Amino acid sequence: MSILIIIIKNIYIQIKNNLLYHIYYILLKIKSNKIANIKINFNFKNQFVFYLKRKIYLFIHKFFSFINYLIFKKKRDQKMKYLIIFISLLFINQLRAVKCPAGSQTDAGSDQVAAENNLPECTKCKLNFYYAGASPLAAGNAVNGICTQCPQNKIDSVATLGSEATIAKQCDISCPPGTVLDDGVIQNYVKSPAECTKCLPNYFQSVENNQIVEAKTCAECSYKLPSGAQARIITEATRKVQCGVAQFLSISLLFISFYLL
C-alpha cells in the first residue's frame, strides 16, 4: 500500500507540473496574440477549459492504466482492482465528452464532441439560435464566438452553419403585435424587438391596470379614425389619440345636446 501511495504522489506532482506548464504556454499565446493585434474573443475561455480538461483526461487515463497494470501483474487483492477500475471509469467518462458552446452543435446534430477532438467541430447554430459575430465563422463558433438565442422563435428554423445563421434566417423578426419601426412603416426589426417603437395607425398602447404592458404591444382600435391616422410613439399612442368614436355614440350625444338646449 505504501508503494501505491508513493506512485500516486509522483503522478500528482507530474500532473501539477504539466498543468502549470500548459497554463504558462497558453498565457504566452494570449500575450503574443495581443502583441500581434489579434482580437482575443471572450469565448477563448471555452478553448482554455477544454484544453486543460483534455490534458487532465490523458494524465488520469495513463495513471489508472498504470495502476491497473501493476494490479494485474502482481495479482493483488481483487477488491482493490475493481475499486480502481470503478474510480477510473468515473473520472474518465466525465472528461471524455466535451460540450459544445451554448446554442451550437456538430454537423451530425450532437452538442458534445469527444475529448480527443476539437471544439471547432461545433460549427452549426441550433434551431432558434443565430450567430452575430463580427468575424466570419471560418473555423467554428468555438473559436470566433457563440450562437445567441433568438428574441422570438421561428416555426421553420433549422440548425444552420454559423456563418449563414443570421438573425433574419433563424428567428422571427416581426415586430410585436401592432407595432412598427420608427419610420412608421416597416414591421421587421434588424437586431431587437426594442427597435419597434411606434404603434401602427389606428392602434393604441396596450394597457393593463393603467400601466403600459412591458412587452410594448399595441391593440387595434374598435373604431378607426375616418382620416388623419398615423403611427405614433407607443407612450403617446393613447386610445383617445389613435381611435375614433363610435358613430352611434356620436349621434346619441348629438340628440342629448339638442334635448338639453
For residue 171 the three cell numbers come to: 428567428
- Check whether 215 has a pLDDT greater than 70: no
What's the pLDDT score for residue 134?
A: 63
Name the residue with higher pLDDT: 41 or 133. 133
Residue-wise pLDDT tens digits, 95-118: 556 777 788 888 887 777 655 555
Per DSSP, the residues of 47-73 read HHHHHHHHHHHHHHHHHHHHHHHHHHH
For residue 244 the three cell numbers come to: 375614433
For residue 143 the three cell numbers come to: 473559436
- Average the pLDDT over 65-80 and give the result: 58
pTM recorded for the entire structure: 0.53
Residues forming a β-bridge with 160: 125
- Check whether 36 has a pLDDT greater than 90: no
Percent of the chain with pLDDT over 90: 18
Please state, in angstroms and rounded to a whole number, the distance separating the CA atoms of residues 47 and 120.
9
pLDDT averaged over every residue in the chain: 70
Name the residue with higher pLDDT: 85 or 124. 124
Please state, in angstroms and rounded to a whole number, the distance separating the CA atoms of residues 154 and 173.
8
| Residue 128 pLDDT class (50, 70, 90 cuts) | very high
What's the pLDDT score for residue 233?
A: 92
HSE-up (13 A, CA, CB side) for residue 68: 14
Please state, in angstroms and rounded to a whole number, the distance separating the CA atoms of residues 171 and 158.
10
Q: Which residue has the cell 469565448?
A: 43
Residues 234-240: contacts with CB under 8 Å, at least 24 apart: 234/179, 234/197, 234/198, 234/199, 234/205, 235/205, 237/198, 237/199, 237/203, 237/204, 237/205, 238/204, 238/205, 239/204
What's the pLDDT score for residue 13?
A: 58
84-98, 99-113, 176-190: segment of lowest average pLDDT: 84-98
| Residue 246 pLDDT class (50, 70, 90 cuts) | low
53-57, 89-93, 98-102: segment of lowest average pLDDT: 89-93
- Average the pLDDT over 70-82 and give the result: 56
Percent of the chain with pLDDT over 70: 45
What's the pLDDT score for residue 248?
A: 42
- Check whether 10 has a pLDDT greater than 70: no
